[in-house]
Structure 1
Amino acid sequence: MEPPTPDVLEWLQKVDVPTIVAVVVIGLLLRSCYRCLTKKNGKTMKAPGRNFRIPRKDFDDNPSAYFKGLRKK
């Protein structure tokens, strides 16, 4: 592996690297926790005729409305 070029070293000296690292780490943590933080309570099921999950309660409340909406598309 080659040593860093002088331009890279100068840039690293000018930039506040710990701040950049902290921002990147916090961003990655928030991104990875987003799903846990926004997760809705309740059971889910694979949506009939589609390739994703839906809340089971929404389907059980009115299955005929779900299939009518599915046929419209």
Structure 2
Amino acid sequence: MDTNSLTLLRELTAQLADLKASNKALTKALAKQEARHTESIATLRAKWNELQKSPPPVLVNMQDPPSSTL
């Protein structure tokens, strides 16, 4: 191989190493973000389940009762 080819090979090898490192860091960050979302979804499901167990709210008629006609 000539000098230009070796230099190019070294540069490409260095770029590949940088890309692998970036990919690893991005994969790790994505995993953390997915874990947070999974935790949030689990929390929301738990709250929803608790709401389903509680009795429905009592509706109060705010109008005056009809006057009796006796």
For Structure 1 versus Structure 2, the TM-score category normalised by the shorter chain is 0.3 to 0.5
Higher strand share: 1
Taking structure 1 as the reference length, the TM-score comes to 0.40
Taking structure 2 as the reference length, the TM-score comes to 0.41
Higher helix share: 2
Higher relative contact order (CA 8 A, sep 6+): 1
